[in-house]
Amino acid sequence: MKLVRYGTAGKEKPGLIDVNGGLRDLSSVIHDIDAQALGREGRARVAAIDPQSLPLVSGEQRYGAPVAHVSKFICVGLNYSEHAAETNAPTPEQPILFMKATSAVMGPNDDVVIPKGSVKTDWEVELGVVIGETARSVSVENALAHVAGYVVVNDLSEREFQLEHGGQWVKGKSCDTFGPIGPWLVTTDEVPDPQQLGLRLEVNGHRYQNGNTRTMIFTVAQLVSYISRYMTLLPGDVISTGTPSGVGLGQKPPVYLRPGDVIELGIDGLGTQRQHVRAHPDE
């Protein structure tokens, strides 16, 4: 299934994409695409519905993030060896974890706002993992049974805030609009192997990133297992699994986002995002 949330910001309705690409309203079946809907029983109830029996939504629609009320937005740093190399960092021996504030979450095609005072706003296409079953110290072998589905994430980053302002990376990762998710949440039945997905990102039509999840240092299963040792993973939590090479910081010389830029990114089978970049209103 391809689950979506559509409508104006803050008033999104649940929906799904049918086999013909049509948007079907799910409001009569579930209240929202939230923790309850993402659990095994909730997903089974939605899967049992004939999409053709649901109202077809016509006209162009805005998509919000396909997960409501994200309780944790967990990110993995330097999870592709080529990305670690381009940033002059050693290949990690254990996953590098950091948090992105949930206030950064937005729709896949909403505008990216460059933070006030920023000169080093950067892009990162990443595979997002959405938890469907509570996970505590799960094994690698059982980890994927706790996953509801997968999403496209743009892990936007302000490199000066992240690397030059001291402390932890979270400061450079949590600015408003720095967490576009979607357009869809694709359930695991449609993604037989999360380690065989191509990722790509362009800025103003120039391809900067072109990778594949098969080159991850730590697989999705390993990450879910590892993270669940340190914190309980809840339905609706999002794990952003790292980015391949080609970020702005790694260019020679570095290239950063500016007002007027257009970012386009996507992952095989998970859809695409398109964001316009604009200046902070106080600049």
Residue with tokens 């409508």: 7
Return the higher-pLDDT residue of 38 and 91.
38
Q: What is the pLDDT of residue 86?
A: 85
Q: What is the pLDDT of residue 39?
A: 94
The stretches of the chain forming alpha helices (DSSP H) are: 35-38, 40-47, 81-86, 140-143, 159-164, 170-173, 220-230
CB contact at 8 A, 275 and 110: yes
Q: How far apart are CA 77 and CA 264, in angstroms?
A: 21
Q: What residues contact 121, with CB distance under 8 A and at least 6 apart? A: 112, 114, 115, 156, 157, 158, 159, 256, 257, 277
State the average pLDDT for the chain.
Answer: 96
CB contact at 8 A, 116 and 261: no
Q: What is the pLDDT of residue 190?
A: 97
Q: What is the pLDDT of residue 231?
A: 98
User: Where do the domains of the chain lie?
Assistant: 2-57, 73-278
Q: Which amino acid, 10?
A: G
Tell me the pairing of strands 185-187 and 147-154.
antiparallel
Q: Which amino acid, 213?
A: T
Q: What residues contact 234, with CB distance under 8 A and at least 6 apart? A: 35, 71, 72, 131, 134
Q: What is the pLDDT of residue 84?
A: 78
Q: How far apart are CA 235 and CA 32, in angstroms?
A: 13
Q: How far apart are CA 58 and CA 281, in angstroms?
A: 33
Q: What is the pLDDT of residue 78?
A: 92
Mean pLDDT of 220-227: 98
Tell me the pairing of strands 23-25 and 13-17.
antiparallel
Q: Which amino acid, 176?
A: D
Q: What is the pLDDT of residues 129-151, one digit of tens each?
A: 999 999 999 999 999 999 999 99
CA-based radius of gyration for the chain: 18
* The three-state (H, E, C) secondary structure of 100-133, written as one string: CCHHHEECCCCCEECCCCCCCEECCEEEEEEECC
> Residue 113: how many CB atoms within 10 A of its CB?
22
Q: Alpha-carbon torsion 22, 23, 28, 31, what sign?
A: positive
pLDDT over 90, % of the chain: 94
Q: How far apart are CA 77 and CA 216, in angstroms?
A: 11
Helix (H, G, I), strand (E, B) or coil at 163: helix
Superfamily for 73-278?
Fumarylacetoacetase-like, C-terminal domain (3.90.850.10)
Q: What is the pLDDT of residue 90?
A: 85
**Confidence check: pLDDT of 32 > 90:** yes
- Both tokens of residue 230? 């340190």
Q: What is the pLDDT of residue 150?
A: 98
Residue 89 half-sphere exposure, CB side, CA atoms within 13 Å? 17
Helix (H, G, I), strand (E, B) or coil at 12: coil
Q: What is the pLDDT of residues 71-101, one digit of tens each?
A: 999 999 999 988 878 888 888 999 999 999 9
Q: What is the pLDDT of residue 87?
A: 82
Alpha carbon 53 to its chain centroid, in Å, reads 30
Tell me the pairing of strands 121-122 and 157-158.
antiparallel
Mean pLDDT of 148-174: 95
Mean pLDDT of 217-222: 98
Give the residue from 265, 271, 263 showing the smallest Cα distance to 111: 263
Q: What is the pLDDT of residue 88?
A: 80
